[in-house]
Structure 1
């Protein structure tokens, strides 16, 4: 009985609770960018993004794609070069300015009337718009709804206690034909407190299953030096695609 699928699922649910009270304050994220402790940033881009790009775009041109907690991910430049419209959100102003500098893009800066203290950085080409604010300050009234979402390091970064709020925001930003590529992390949460946080498939189903069709795409062995330094002996990235029912 202990080896039954139900028992294994229950064990994963119990493991997920180990990080339930973990909170990473805004100041800690800002400090990571300030001291360049940004091992979560992938300078080469994520291989799965290109692998599943056709799935994200579904043969459509000029799509509006959202990058939650975008940092300075280079995939934003890739998509803009293909003629798509990129919208991102990030609390670190330095991360956004570094993105434009590293990609040799000129940009404008403006305030956002609907978001106290919020700023909007826009490429002069007009197809990259990056908001500097809390992700929870965004609404579909401000950004409109999206045709695609690339959630590679966002759900696994938000505090576990905020996941329901986060998921509801993501759902509110999806248009009827939106495709969301979601990357979660699977490892032993007894050995690492996060972030990135451990998000089992059962959690994805709990957050999105009522509203979305969830399709498993791939489970990737991503045990590199970084998770090894955390004391982990296995680390997987799990990819799903979400579409509204």
Structure 2
């Protein structure tokens, strides 16, 4: 039985998450966006998808990441993205230069708008990530989780981790990018920032994904956070056990 990671966030960034992220996009406050595929994804892709056997791959809270296009270009048969902002996902469809079909998917009391590329190789779901389920899109061989965990309200992370594990096939892999604040900038035992991104440390990641999965540290890179705090981006490989 997975233990819960207890975090609270007084004065959380916004009670209306959709409105919050829409404001970020509208205001151009999207420093996380890249014009090229994320370097750590490219570097560790072979660990995420050894021998290219993954038949499908999920990108939770994908926004309009170009990683969607890059993974499709690597030959992944089906790339699936989920985000709360339909307008942002439509930008991905326009960028592709291909034709898409939009439909509504209602399962288990959840409503999602689905944008499906005409060749069937990419699907984009707009809705509440925490209400996504196997009934909506099945299960996945692999996931690229870039910075999604660290932007969710901390009170939702246990539910989110359980969701990812439920969506992952036995033997499936998650390449996860987390963030660590420099120890001089934040005390991980007591001092959590009341807005994203939120820092997570190895013990946190293990607590969220073990014992159903193994957690392997892969890589770390120093970077400058937009607020001037020194941070490290940390990459983990999470593999679901064949239980």
Q: 1:75 Cα deviation (Å)?
A: 1.4
User: Which stretches in structure 1 are left out of the alignment for 5+ residues?
Assistant: 1-12
Q: Which residue of 2 aligns with 1:231?
A: 228
1:164 and 2:164 correspond: no
**SS in structure 2 of the partner of residue 242 of structure 1:** strand
Q: Which residue of 2 aligns with 1:198?
A: 199
Q: Which residue of 2 aligns with 1:91?
A: 84
Kindly report which structure 2 residues correspond to 1:77-88, keeping only aligned pairs within 5 A, or say none: 77-84=69-76, 85-88=78-81
TM-score, normalised via structure 1 length: 0.85
Rate the CA distance shift 1:236–1:136 in 2: closer, same or farther, 3 A. same
Q: 1:211 Cα deviation (Å)?
A: 1.3
- Of Structure 1 and Structure 2, the greater strand share is in 2
Q: 1:60 Cα deviation (Å)?
A: 2.9
Over the aligned positions, Cα root-mean-square deviation in angstroms equals 2.1
Q: Distance in 2 between matches of 1:80 and 1:30?
A: 26
Does the 8 Å CA contact 1:56/1:148 hold for their aligned counterparts? yes
Q: 1:194 Cα deviation (Å)?
A: 3.3
Q: Distance in 2 between matches of 1:132 and 1:58?
A: 29
Does the 8 Å CA contact 2:9/2:155 hold for their aligned counterparts? no
Does the 8 Å CA contact 1:123/1:129 hold for their aligned counterparts? yes
Q: Distance in 1 between matches of 2:212 and 2:111?
A: 33
Q: Which residue of 2 aligns with 1:241?
A: 237
TM-score, normalised via structure 2 length: 0.86
Q: 1:63 Cα deviation (Å)?
A: 1.9
Q: 1:154 Cα deviation (Å)?
A: 0.8
**SS in structure 2 of the partner of residue 185 of structure 1:** strand
Rate the CA distance shift 1:201–1:173 in 2: closer, same or farther, 3 A. same
**SS in structure 2 of the partner of residue 213 of structure 1:** strand
Q: Which residue of 2 aligns with 1:211?
A: 212
User: Which stretches in structure 2 are left out of the alignment for 5+ residues?
Assistant: none
Give the count of matched residue pairs: 226
Q: Determine which of 63, 70, 73 is the counterpart of 2:55.
A: 63
- Of Structure 1 and Structure 2, the greater helix share is in 1
